[in-house]
Chain A
């Protein structure tokens, strides 16, 4: 028995040593690419085009991080994950970062041992119904059949909402957004519930978007953001500050158009100088190059540009900035100072 413990201890020691030595940053640099978990396909947030190129609001976060770390926004490999598989994929180290409209909750942060690095979209859970159903409020949904994506917070919010309002429903659990939409459009469920942004994105892909309406009730708070594993603070910092760089860039008026020029030499705004690495050594402190933020911003533009390009009002998805406006415009998007 002594021998067993001995072997086990040796094995465990090697394992933990291996764990501690190879930080995620070194791993990513050694691999030469970032492994990023995204959703299996949600228009505007993460979707692959006909050539297999991923694009979208969540994808842009991965590209910014890849640009910050490796200097190349294309050095990303995407792993499509479902609501059920995403956390296992992240916990097991299969992916380095999960950017899959994932809600920041206490238990995911504390119990599941993940670090949410920030919020890139403030969302809430809503319902979509066909107009011909004549429903104008979620409280009219007594007895309705509701399609839900299984393994998400929406499942729990839904149960809470119907319980508090003392009405009944019939849940139909479904694995992916695409399957849920198929059932919803065939009328196998009366309503489909998920994050309101997701509903808007999905509605844009319908043959006849006008025939469907998103109910006014938002039944939950869903702060969506990228997350990494607990225990590697350096990596968490890198992802956090790459995201913050995009947000600060919008606030400071740095765009993909002028970022190269501004990064050439120090300007007269010290905050921009520190952000773009022409002053101070913020990049070095993170273990990255001085121009990490410049690369991140050059990858797809600042937060506002990414929003407008993928899900903004000029796109078919047509989401207003709302809560996701900069704090200077009355929204919640706010980056701590680069100093």
Chain B
């Protein structure tokens, strides 16, 4: 008892902040934090001072002024009398459109290619390797420019469709026009009664899910397997088609037609959109394919052997045993591929696609001279989109990951 010395009674001393291990780490962290904040403050202050010296104080008023320029592809109403803010919104929607289309294309192609790369067929597997290596190892900007160049140089101009002995003609029973400005496809036209067909169609989609659940239950009870795919396909098409013909074909097609300089009517998919989507999709698909391959190879061989031993067909083994387990490995790197694709879409201006970088970060920046403001908003927008994508994908990842008990 007496051997122990009492802790010093006198109060806290400043030197303890450095020499006392209880406080030292805290001291170091606080000092580091203060230095960091000073650094940030200095940078911000410096930027503000220099902008003021240039006579360009930060202000965001320009977003409300009339933009004065036109945008070709707009998903919402826009004309050149609307504000720069509205033009930026048009750009954001265009960015989102190409990102969503590109992600879908990349996922579908990536999964197919990744699986085929593991094929036991030597030719198929090697072909897929060549594809992956070719796309992965060339900068995406070159793919974008190349795709666009192919579109512009290999398809005919609209004026080639004109005249009696036109050098070009429309494809698919005169319903689709492939031009070097884009692809015109028919647009559905809704007449009276068309809503019923749509409702029937939606009901049959619900029906597919109901049938799926029933069929699974039945299989668990009796062990019998129905030809699910064909039945679902029938549910998908038959009721809607029946309703369509019974009601006297209430949905028509508006065909594109050459009028003046361009085709009118139908849906116009500009070649800038198609080229950008294709290039981004094909490029990212190569990375997704590698993720898929890694995921599949991560599933132990015993799993497929066990499935074969149970008598499952190779297709069912893949769908029921391998892919669900592989998904746990595939999803996390897939998130970053989606993010990459979205960010790469900012190369759109190379083909004249008016995404957010083209509108806010391009024309608006140039016409108003508000570099700092435009770039700050631009970064904010990309950050927001990326964070949304990654939180949605993380949520999905949670739902497929291994539930540990």
Residues of A within 8 A of B (CB): 3-5, 7-9, 11-12, 15-16, 19, 83-84, 87-88, 91, 107-108, 111-113, 132-133, 141-145, 150-151, 155-156, 158-160, 162-163, 169-175, 182-183, 186-190, 230-231
Contact = CB atoms under 8 A, between A and B. Distances in A.
B260 A7 contact: no
A15 B157 contact: no
Contact of A5 (B45, B159, B363): B45
B352 A173 contact: yes
29 contacts: A7-B42, A7-B45, A8-B46, A11-B42, A15-B49, A15-B50, A16-B53, A19-B53, A84-B365, A91-B371, A108-B369, A111-B368, A150-B349, A150-B362, A151-B362, A151-B363, A151-B366, A155-B69, A156-B68, A156-B367, A171-B69, A172-B352, A173-B358, A173-B363, A186-B152, A186-B153, A186-B180, A187-B156, A188-B271
- Which one of A132, A151, A160 has the greatest number of beta carbons of chain B within 10 Å? A151
Contacts of A7: 38, 41-42, 45
A113 B57 CA distance: 12
A112 to B, nearest CB: 4
B157 A187 contact: yes
Given A19-B53, A88-B371, A111-B369, A143 B41 contact: no
A188 B54 CA distance: 41
B55 interface: yes
Nearest to B157: A187
Nearest to A180: B352
B230 interface: no
Contacts of B272: 172
B6 to A, nearest CB: 41
A173 B69 CA distance: 11
Contact of A142 (B45, B55, B181, B260): B260
Contacts of A19: 53
Interface SS, B side:
helix
A7 B44 CA distance: 11
Contacts of A145: 181, 261-262
Given A11-B42, A113-B54, A188-B180, A150 B369 contact: no
Interface in B174-225: 180-181
Given A19-B53, A159-B80, A171-B71, A186 B157 contact: yes
Contacts of A5: 45
Nearest to B261: A144
A145 B157 CA distance: 11
A94 to B, nearest CB: 13
B366 A87 contact: yes
A84 B42 contact: no
Contacts of A151: 362-363, 366-367
Interface residues of B, number: 48
Contacts of B369: 87, 91, 107-108, 111-113
A3 B71 contact: no
A173 B371 CA distance: 20
Contacts of B68: 156, 159-160
Nearest to B49: A12
B259 interface: yes
A145 B263 CA distance: 11
A142 B260 CA distance: 8
B68 to A, nearest CB: 5
B340 to A, nearest CB: 23
Nearest to A147: B352
A5 B264 CA distance: 61
Contact of B70 (A107, A171, A188): A171
Given A4-B37, A143-B261, A84 B49 contact: no
Contacts of A111: 368-369
Contacts of A143: 259-262, 264
Interface in B350-405: 350, 352, 354, 358, 362-363, 365-369, 371
Given A156-B68, A186-B152, A230-B55, A4 B42 contact: yes
Nearest to A133: B159
B56 interface: yes
A196 B260 CA distance: 25
B238 to A, nearest CB: 41
Given A3-B38, A145-B181, A150-B363, A91 B54 contact: yes
B45 A11 contact: yes
A200 to B, nearest CB: 23
A111 B49 CA distance: 18
A112 B368 CA distance: 7
B121 interface: no
Interface string B45-76: 11001100111100000000000111110000
A116 B181 CA distance: 38
Contacts of A175: 349-350, 352
B45 A12 contact: yes
B181 A8 contact: no
Given A88-B371, A143-B261, A171 B49 contact: no
A136 B262 CA distance: 18
A174 B272 CA distance: 11
Contacts of B53: 12, 15-16, 19
Given A4-B38, A84-B366, A156-B367, A174 B352 contact: yes
B67 to A, nearest CB: 9
A170 B262 contact: yes
Contacts of B362: 84, 150-151, 173
A68 to B, nearest CB: 27
B367 to A, nearest CB: 7
- Which one of A133, A144, A160, A171 has the greatest number of beta carbons of chain B within 10 Å? A171
